Chains A and B, each alone.
Chain A
Amino acid sequence: KQEVTQIPAALSVPEGENLVLNCSFTDSAIYNLQWFRQDPGKGLTSLLLIQSSQREQTSGRLNASLDKSSGRSTLYIAASQPGDSATYLCAVREMDSSYKLIFGSGTRLLVRP
């Protein structure tokens, strides 16, 4: 059974710091991996989607990498801002049930002004 783990569970950093969020998964037979942002009381916003054949994706200050063979992904946030404060979730889509997202528990990020 696929299990997705995110470390750390919570993170507090001063504004301007570069930071890395980690995601690991137990079964490497995935189609893709996706990073989401969740603000309190709101739904999930997709940040980056990495196909299994790709190594990384970039969007603005965000960069996500994928090492499928080792079951790991990282989300790098450059020059963090208070507006980046949210919960960040990673999710994988498996090959044998490609419609279903399997999520980690998330990392709660607080960027202090």
Chain B
Amino acid sequence: GAGVSQTPSNKVTEKGKYVELRCDPISGHTALYWYRQSLGQGPEFLIYFQGTGAADDSGLPNDRFFAVRPEGSVSTLKIQRTERGDSAVYLCASSLTAGSRYNEQFFGPGTRLTVL
């Protein structure tokens, strides 16, 4: 597709359940990023992939959060034992590469996660 796509657009789950959020980056983009945006706040960095490997996962809040990108394209953010505090919009972005300051990140529409 022309832009970054994310599925689902909305996800409602119950506390304690497992969820997966999917991101399809722009074709040919090797770098992929996940951010989390809580209500009334700006996005916060979670994790960044260069190719298949997680180059920096320092933003993941705890070990309930995990992300993969097995073939260097689509990425899945996985959250185990969801808590009400995980409710937020999860944004994915991609860029051609990551090493240059000139590489612009293009954002998807986000997945709104609500944990009841």
Contacts and interface: CB of A to CB of B under 8 A. Distances in A.
Interface string A28-48: 000110101000011111100
Given A99-B48, A99-B98, A103-B42, A43 B110 contact: yes
A46 B48 CA distance: 19
Contacts, number: 63
Given A44-B91, A49-B104, A105-B40, A100 B45 contact: yes
B101 A89 contact: no
Contact of A93 (B59, B101, B106): B101
Nearest to A9: B40
Nearest to A36: B107
Size bin of chain A's contact surface? 20 to 34
Contacts of A46: 104, 106
Nearest to B95: A99
Contact of B41 (A31, A49, A105): A105
Given A32-B101, A49-B104, A99-B48, A91 B91 contact: no
Interface of A: 4, 6, 31-32, 34, 36, 41-46, 49, 51, 89, 91, 93, 97-106
Interface of B: 4, 31, 33, 35, 40-45, 48, 55-56, 59, 91, 93, 95, 98-102, 104-110, 112
8 contacts: A31-B101, A89-B43, A98-B101, A101-B45, A101-B105, A104-B42, A105-B40, A105-B42
Given A44-B43, A93-B101, 15 more contacts: A4-B42, A42-B109, A43-B108, A43-B110, A89-B42, A99-B31, A99-B48, A99-B56, A99-B99, A101-B33, A101-B45, A102-B45, A103-B43, A105-B40, A106-B41
